[in-house]
Amino acid sequence: MLNKELLTLPVTELAKLIKNRQLSSVDLTTMLLQHAHQYNPEINAYISFRDERALAEAAKADEEIAQGNYKGTFHGIPMGIKDNIYLGGEVTSMASKIHSKFVSVDDASVIEKLKAAGAIIIGKLNMHEYAWGITNNSPHFGACHNPWNLEKIPGGSSGGSGASVAAGMSTITLGTDTAGSIRIPSSACGLVGLKPTHGLVAKYGCFPLAWSLDHIGPMAKTVQDAAAMLQVIAGFDARDPTSKQVEIPDYVALLNSDVKGKVIGINEEYFFNQVDAPIEKLVRAQIAQLEQAGAIIQPVSIPALQHAEYVELITSLSEASTIHHEDMLVRADDFGDDIRLLFELGELPTAVEYLQAQQLRRELKLQFSALFNEIDVLITPTLPVLPPDIGSSVAKLNGEEVDLLNHIIRFTGPSNLTGLPALSIPCGLVEGQPVGLQIIGPAFQEQKVFDIALAIEKQVQFSYHKPTLDRI
């Protein structure tokens, strides 16, 4: 079965072939590298490749498996990794000019765990500079293109991550998410993307954008793949002050698509306000199917959401500008124009405004916490608009042009403020572009989110939809 069809398989299927020695890691890694190199000039998902190192690691994995030392699902599985997650001794650029030669001493915590699981890293993936943007238009490395439509953005900041998995240029990957940067490209590229509970996945060795909002999570072809990845990367690391010591369940073994009796919350006034009609139709169709399968649909109110966009703005601007303050003083011209403006704006909020925002944020957390005493999950659209053409600052919302940045993070940002787990899953196509449905759950109860996502995955059967790359 050594053909490119292998690259369309989920990791859990590839793992069976590798475990049974029907497929070698070297062969799979070679094929993935060839495919990624072939399509990267057009899609621009990778910033750099590590062919020799990856093939050497794959050969070692094959030897270990032959000796009976199989480590599990990710043993011998090749993948790209976002270029703000450190590989010790190798360049991690954050898609920036300033850090173009930065070499970390240590691997990131998630990389340590992936390596321990036997995963093979084939290269570093393109991203919006310093992870602050939703288009993945890089002044330093060029725009990343959406495999479903090369004229469209793949979403950001984890655009290279989304594009690579959608195009079969990576089997699975990780993204980082500060206001939606896992879920936005997952929605745009037709993937399952999970932002876990804040503190569940350690962030040591990941360059920060905003300390209190940042998350790392899987971007995958299937719910089972995402659950398997979370199984590997979750867990405490004392080197990350936000990391939490909690029990890690067996997410894959516990997967259950039975929704009978599950209570699903729907918030109309915020999460279904100003949504492009075809997107709204697809999301509501899935909710209706869940209800037919025995789920209970319950309207809910979350008054504090009226402040969410302001709080997200003040928090992200202030924290990000603090991180980059010194470089702004001496190397401002080395930032891309778009993020330099954001860093400049981040100097404007006062300490009073920042602290007031955190007070409002606490109220939002309290209301969400109370809400999950009544419901199992909350379902929303992931994005209210379709991703626009590369270079556009506007999107179409029911026929009218609206500001892209203001709208595309409206539904993803609240989960960063609350730290709650949120997953985007494909629920169909509009104008040939994937549309994502978002599932938000209680803190550290990713299993509830996975289970509802699995039910939707079975309803939609989106895995049968793949972008056609032979047009390139």
Rounded CA gap, 62 and 266, in Å?
Answer: 48
Tell me if residue 82 is catalytic: yes
181 catalytically annotated: yes
Strand partners, 79: 121
From residue 108, give the alpha-carbon distance in Å to each of 33, 183, 187, 343, 469.
23, 22, 26, 25, 33
Q: Cβ atoms within 10 A of the Cβ of 140, count?
A: 17
Count of other CB atoms within 10 angstroms of residue 296: 15
Nearest to 342 by CA among 331, 357, 332, 350: 332
* Largest distance between two CA atoms of the chain: 62
Beta-bridged to residue 439, according to DSSP, are 379, 423
424 is catalytic: no
From 96, 161, 181, 321, the catalytic residue: 181
The structure tokens listed for 220 are 């995958």
Catalytic site residue from 109, 157, 161, 164: 157
Catalytic residue among 24, 25, 82, 152: 82
CB 203 within 8 A of CB 175: no
Of 115, 366, 147, residue with least CA distance to 232: 115
> Are 452 and 376 a contacting pair, CB within 8 Å?
yes
**Angle between helices 351-371 and 308-323 in degrees, nearest 10:** 130
Q: How many residues does the chain have?
A: 472
Joined tokens for residue 108: 């990131």
- Residue 466 gets the label, from left (phi > 0), alpha (psi -120 to 50) or beta, of beta
Extract the runs of DSSP E, i.e. beta strands, from 18-72. Answer: 46-49
Tokens 């057009």 correspond to 42
* Cα–Cα nearest to 457, from 85, 190, 276: 190
Alpha-carbon gap, residue 5 to 9, rounded angstroms? 7
C-alpha 322/C-alpha 349 separation (Å) is 11
Residues designated catalytic: 82, 157, 181
